[in-house]
Amino acid sequence: MNDLSHASTTILDFLTLLELEQVKETSNLFNAAIWQDLNQLNLDLNAIRQPNKIALAILDWCEKYPEIYREFKAKDWQKVRCDMVGEDDIDIPLPYLDGEAEIIRNRDRIQKIIQENQQPPNQDSPNNPEQD
What pLDDT digit, counting tens, does each position of 46-58 carry? 999 899 999 999 9
Going by C-alpha positions, the residue among 66, 76, 64 that lies closest to residue 17 is: 76
**What pLDDT score was predicted for residue 100?**
74
Task: List all residues 6 or more positions away from 2 whose beta carbon is below 8 Å from its beta carbon.
Answer: none
Domain boundaries, the chain: 2-23+30-116
High-pLDDT (> 70) share of the chain, %: 77
**Per-residue pLDDT tens over the stretch 34-45:** 999 999 999 999
pLDDT of amino acid 2: 60
Torsion of CA 72, 69, 39, 33, to 10 degrees: 110
pLDDT > 90 in the chain, percent: 39
Under DSSP, the state recorded for 86 is T
| pLDDT at residue 104 greater than cutoff 90 | no
Q: CB–CB of 108/11 below 8 Å?
A: no
Single pTM value for the model: 0.73
pLDDT at 53: 94
Contact in structure between 7 and 106 (CB atoms under 8 Å): no
Which tops the pLDDT comparison, 103 or 99? 103
